[in-house]
Structure 1
């Protein structure tokens, strides 16, 4: 007879919401299908088959592996959650009572595993089949409990070589972990899914040498503020930003000499790979201890090439960290913007009525749609996939927006006018996230409008004026999504109370008159 195990999860992915949190828990459920196919024989009729399921263990294991020629192979076990579905008492599996004993019969045994909510999302990196992944495993111990053994001469001959107890394993099933960031309550009153983050940045000269005749004092008096969304979806095709400029204490005559001709925008993704787990990550999250890590305790499904490095057949260079960075801008986009007009944006800074006025410009920088997903390439280091910003034991992904201002200063006047140039460079952090599909559709359904003091810009287009979106926007419809469990309940199961909603005022009930009255 043939016995087969199959793991059938209830969902094709494990969806988590919000930032990694140790106090949250998620469920991975499904069932294990056990199929029994009785043996077919031309010499004797089929007899009932009786089996005893002694144990059925379902395991959810998370792991992070990094493999490349420069660093070798590194593996970290993130978690292991197991459940024995027949721990109480063995289960009898039999086809006795069926009309046709030669047909296959099956049993479904339900499982429900509780996994921690701090796990990093699934992400492929390194050589093929590497990265962070999660898998369901199942193993069963089944004993043959036939009370009437077969009398055929072939069965009697093979009986001494047949084991009465078999250990079966199911084909592992991958369960991708997807971490979503749900738009905040800000989305209900704005066309943008996330609020705007404002930064007071410190701009520094890009390459200021001792021979430069650009006044250092003028550069140091420029104040810069920048605004970008707090979160950006990995599916977005552009990023809105705004920059505000003003001088601080620069004399009026020098304000009229200072000019901003244009600026460059660059969006960069940086990936930092490690051959050893990040200590700060292991301290912050309950990663299994060293004695439960490979090779002391091997992974249930390691990388196909892990054995080559484990046996010493392949030697790797002693590199602890591997860095790679690349631009997210489209290939045909230079990122250069020109400010319309003469560029003397600080000429009126010292006027009293404009004491609190900033020169502001806003625009949207495109992101290459070709970077979405992981393209098949001869070298994984050449692939450019937009990843979510985050931290895991072997990989840290960060994003930045770099801005370079092209500033000029007028030396002399009239025919003796000479213009010297310098570049101010600064950057702000970006956070790329994954938002639920319904929220993603809602965020694209509306277009921001210009708000406030905004000057026109153009990108490599001569004197053409480009319509610019402002960051503050009016309200727009929003498709609500189901909030995460941690937003509604505490870790102990108590429901969270929204104290911002006042309770209704107490109104005493009117005293009712007695039904019977006594006459005096």
Structure 2
């Protein structure tokens, strides 16, 4: 076919920052290349070819698919955004004057599609790499205006072919979501502190061991601090525990000891057959009339066709499959023995503020999915692997650190010790940290827009330069607050001062002895935003 189209995007992926937000949007820019090739035949010489481009439609569509036990196959459309690039009147394309050239004639039509900022990141999940994906589809419709000679071979075939043609192209658009932060060093990530509401394990029926009185164990206060987020590429988590006893007599403080503690990092996965009502309330998913099977997905997985014919979906739309597994290495059991006679509260002085006992540790976890053991559902939903914390319509990933403290208490007038195990869990957030920008992108000024990048009107259809700048620009959320106010620069630039010495190479003066005028051509602009960090849980003061 002499006409073909190709989609070229400005960047290889669409990067989003921060939590999903239905009030934000990102720009997906690029151009669609329409190529016109000169027909080549051994029976006739090359001739002028003309086509009438009637429409060029772009559709950005996202979908999510899963297959899991108790659910089967489930697919949902996340979004569908359509733009028409030829909206006024048809455009005539011709290779007149370049018939003998082996290179095709090309026209570039630029596009800029707003993409909702609440969309989940692209991911693969389950068998055959199902999951969340996004694709940009292009459809061009054109009319053949070729006026062939009545004695040519093309004229003999003309009654058997249609003058209306249609060509298609598609391109996968990965969406990457990063945490909204400027902390490149993990040690600089702020901590989130939780006031722990610990619970004692209930006694077993045949357990006759002595227990710590409730009026004593209830006086124990615990604060747990973890980083606001943890990079999925890291291999350990820093944990800080602070403990003290409040309003407890000195003699009783000397009897309490911390003998051991245990930690575990858990990932909880939940696969749903249909999006929850809470998710639909927060994010504008397409209506049921636009979902399969009413309107099938453009790129449905082959398992979807299989289940349509042999499997009936569950009547209960709340059907779900839940999987929980530990992220600790196989050689780690998460238990740490502190030794005997570890009376950490014995130094409290009556009438003074209780002393905090601080315990710091580093918890290892496994970022490599191949190391985690296979379970019975691995054949359905894939091997257990570490994933960023977040939610999508059909998938939810949550993480938590489970902590157990073994507390001992020397009973008065008895030669035995009562023990209790306090257990609690604190939420943990895994995220992708954006890579640092290249040195040139941190100091170079923004490039000026070339006139060849602008289309005055769709009728003229000039050639558009495809040499876009690859300078990495900061995200909007890094320069402005959510209410639109600009973030203050924590490291302001020095005030402008004119250069007294002449410019050796940039001077345009006719007299080489005349000093050049002050110029800000060599000045560079850098922005550093303030620490505007937020957490789902309010840190303690």
**Alignment TM class, shorter chain as reference:** 0.7 to 0.9
Match of 2:253 among 249, 252, 255: 255
Q: Judge conservation of contact 2:241–2:360 (CA < 8 Å) in 1.
A: yes
Q: Judge conservation of contact 1:201–1:426 (CA < 8 Å) in 2.
A: yes
Stretch of structure 1 that moved more, 22-31 or 423-432: 22-31
The answer to whether 1:33 aligns with 2:24 is no
Match of 1:496 among 477, 480, 486: 486
Task: State the shift of 1:497 in Å.
Answer: 6.6
Task: State the shift of 1:315 in Å.
Answer: 4.4
Cα distance in 2 for residues equivalent to 1:283 and 1:372: 37
Q: Judge conservation of contact 2:68–2:381 (CA < 8 Å) in 1.
A: no
2:330 aligns with 331
Match of 1:208 among 203, 207, 213: 203
1:198 aligns with 193
Match of 2:266 among 268, 289, 293: 268
1:461 aligns with none
Q: Judge conservation of contact 1:259–1:343 (CA < 8 Å) in 2.
A: yes
2:289 aligns with 291
Q: Judge conservation of contact 1:53–1:141 (CA < 8 Å) in 2.
A: yes
Per-residue CA distance 1:320-376 (angstroms, 9 max, x = gap): 1110111111111121223256211122335334x3311111111111132389999
Change (3 A) 1:126 1:316: farther
2:59 aligns with 59
2:475 aligns with 484
Q: Judge conservation of contact 2:212–2:418 (CA < 8 Å) in 1.
A: no
Change (3 A) 1:149 1:324: farther
SS of residue paired to 1:352? coil
1:129 aligns with 129
SS of residue paired to 1:120? coil
1:100 aligns with 100
Match of 1:221 among 219, 222, 234: 219
Match of 1:368 among 361, 366, 369: 366
Residues 309-328 of structure 1 correspond to what in structure 2 (within 5 A)? 309-310=307-308, 312-315=309-312, 320-328=319-327
Cα distance in 2 for residues equivalent to 1:369 and 1:490: 33
Change (3 A) 1:108 1:148: same
1:240 aligns with 238
Q: Judge conservation of contact 2:232–2:430 (CA < 8 Å) in 1.
A: yes
Cα distance in 2 for residues equivalent to 1:17 and 1:356: 42
Change (3 A) 1:490 1:431: closer
Q: Judge conservation of contact 1:328–1:371 (CA < 8 Å) in 2.
A: no
Cα distance in 1 for residues equivalent to 2:157 and 2:246: 95
Cα distance in 2 for residues equivalent to 1:336 and 1:147: 83
Task: State the shift of 1:11 in Å.
Answer: 1.3
SS of residue paired to 2:436? helix
SS of residue paired to 2:127? coil
Task: State the shift of 1:271 in Å.
Answer: 1.0
Q: Judge conservation of contact 2:222–2:244 (CA < 8 Å) in 1.
A: yes
Task: State the shift of 1:246 in Å.
Answer: 1.6
Q: Judge conservation of contact 1:244–1:360 (CA < 8 Å) in 2.
A: yes
Per-residue CA distance 1:251-298 (angstroms, 9 max, x = gap): 333322222111001011111110011211111111111212222122
Alignment TM-score, normalising by the size of structure 2: 0.76
Q: Structure 2: which 5+ residue stretches go unaligned?
A: 439-471, 493-541
2:511 aligns with none
Task: State the shift of 1:245 in Å.
Answer: 1.4
Cα distance in 1 for residues equivalent to 2:199 and 2:17: 38
